[in-house]
Each structure stands twice: as structure tokens, then as C-alpha cells.
Amino acid sequence: MIVTRFAPSPNGPLHLGHAWAAIVAHDRARAATGTFLLRIEDIDGARSRPELAEEFRADLAWLGLSWTEVKPQSQRVERYRAAADALRTAGLLYPCHCTRAEIAANAAAQGPDGPLYPGTCRLHPIEPGPDVAWRLDMARAMALAGPLEWTDERRGIQQATPDLFGDVVLWRKDAPASYHLAATVDDAADGVSVVTRGIDLFRASHVHRLLQALLGLPVPRWHHHAVLVGPDGRKLAKRRGAAGLAERRQNGEDGPALAAALRAGRFDSSLFDTGICLADTIDLAP
């Protein structure tokens, strides 16, 4: 049975880009009489605003979607800790106290998320303490896992190249598990069989595939969908002025009509600002 999920972070209101992501996940499950899950990804420390979860539910219902809600991430921290402990016991994690500024100053190359970690604390190990992050020793992890493949429903079989990210942080200083660890552990725990998410996160799936191998988790399929961009070619974002769904809902707009226009790709309709369209490239500017 197909299980998909929409996994928003309650850091800000949902906008059209989220509506589209939710619709893709919802419709992918419904087309196969599967299950569509909602998972609130609320472990982003100070940025997380729990009251937004209620607003998200109202937004999704307004769009005409129905879902099964699973536990929010804030209630799963022990699972993430167990996963991190297993990786640490296997000798695959090391503590790191480098700041963003230090990494930027010493990085020799860029990764998908910014400057690539230059390996400072792997080369010069530090004592673990409460204020450290834990990084994956990527070379060691890949050697242990061996060559890995994963399948995207739209782009076919992929050879996993998680080393694009270098030694990723799996346990953060300022919050529990990183996105990579939490999302991978949760998708397995929730029985997600098709992970749908925006094409801008395509590369993250290389890391998730590696974590599945290291943690002995089932391997889903992926479905990276095109994402909505504005006239500047950048992903819609609240901070760049994308109208929030809650605002549109409260203004009395017709949610199912908006969902239908998104499904039909009718971006020339008056429901959308001029210049909004779908972009399907992996190299989307952040």
C-alpha cells in the first residue's frame, strides 16, 4: 500500500508552494487508494511556533484535502537519539564545535547547503561536550555501506552520492536531530513508501539513502516534484512576499478552486500573481 506524507515545519505560515507539495503527496496516495499522512516537523528550536500547526490543519482542510496525522517530531526525540547513538557506537559520528564563520573561512568548496565542512574536527578530534554538534564521517560511512542506489519515480534510478554534502551534521548544537536524521527515521517509522518532496531537496535523498543503509531502515521510493517559483525564478517564500494560505482562507477565497487551478497548472488564472510557474530543476537557487 502507498503511504505518502506532507511534513511542514511550523516556522512560518504555509503558502502556495506548500499547498502544491501537500496536493502532490495527497493525490499520489489517493490515486493508489493509499494513505496520506501529515507530520508536523516542529524541532526547529526557537524558530518553531506550535500554534501554527492548528493553522496548517485548517489550511489543508480548506484546500479540500484529508489526511491521517502522525506524531509531531517534538514527540520523537528519543528515537532520533537512539539512531544517533547507534551511529556513534559504530564509530561514524564525531563531535564538532566549529562555528558557521569558521567553516565559511576554511571551506575549500561549496556543498548543496553552503560551504562544505573542511573536516577540521575529524582531523583534530575534540572532546565531546554539551555544546557540540555531531557530524557523520562521510568517507567512513560510505565505505561501510558500499555502493547504494535509490529510485525517483520521475527521474529513475540514482547512484547515491551523499559525499556531495561532506560530513553532514546529524545532531545539532541548537536543536535535536538534524533534518536529515529526523526525516529519515520518521519516514521509516511512519511506513512512508513514497517520499514526495520538492525537486530542490533532490540531493538530500542521497544522504537519506545512506542513513537508511547505516540504520537498517526500509528503503522507500522518492517522488521529487517541480516547485513553484516566482518571476525571479526563485522558490516561493513567505519572506519574498508569497501570500500565506491562512490569509487567503480568511479573506474568503475558494480553497478547492485554488487546489483545482494548481492541479491543472493554470498559472495564468487570476488566482496567481503574474510570473508564478513550476520549475523542475535540481539546481534551483535557494
- Per-residue x/- mask for ligand GLU, residues 180 to 209, rule CB under 6 A? ---x-------------x---x--------
Q: Which is nearer to ligand GLU, 183 or 194 (CB)?
A: 183
CA 208/CA 51 separation, integer angstroms: 29
The yes or no reply on residue 41 touching ligand GLU (CB under 6 A) is yes
Parallel, antiparallel or unpaired: strands 93-96 and 133-136 = antiparallel
Please tell me whether residue 17 binds ligand GLU under the rule CB under 6 A: no
Q: Which residue has the cell 529510485?
A: 151
Contact of 208 with 170, CB cutoff 8 Å: no
Q: Which residue is associated with the grid cell 575549500?
A: 108
Smallest distance, ligand GLU to C-beta of residue 195, A: 7
**Contact map string, positions 99 to 138, toward ligand GLU, x by CB under 6 A:** ----------------------------------------
Cα–Cα distance measured from residue 162 to residue 114, given in angstroms and rounded to the nearest whole number: 15
CB 167 within 8 A of CB 149: no
Closest approach, Cβ 88 to ligand GLU, in A, equals: 24
- Contact between 9 and ligand GLU by CB under 6 A: the answer reads yes
Q: How far is the CB of 129 from ligand GLU (least distance, A)?
A: 28
- Return d(Cα 12, Cα 59) in angstroms, integer: 13
Contact between 7 and ligand GLU per CB under 6 A: yes
Of 5-13, 61-69, 215-223, 259-267, which segment contacts ligand GLU by CB under 6 A?
Answer: 5-13
Contact between 227 and ligand GLU by CB under 6 A: the answer reads no
Binding status of residue 236 toward ligand GLU by CB under 6 A:
no
The contact mask relative to ligand GLU for 240-269 (x = CB under 6 A, - = no) is ------------------------------
Distances (CA, A) of 139 to 92, 122, 162, 181: 9, 11, 10, 17
Cβ 9 to ligand GLU, closest distance in Å? 4
When CB distances to ligand GLU are compared, the closest residue is 197
Alpha carbon separation from 166 to 100, 108, 118, 137, 170 (Å, rounded): 15, 11, 8, 8, 12
Q: Which residues of 221-232 are buried (b: 16+ CB within 10 A; e: fewer)?
A: ebbbbbbbbbee
- Residues of this chain that interact with ligand GLU (CB under 6 A) are 7-9, 41, 183, 197, 201
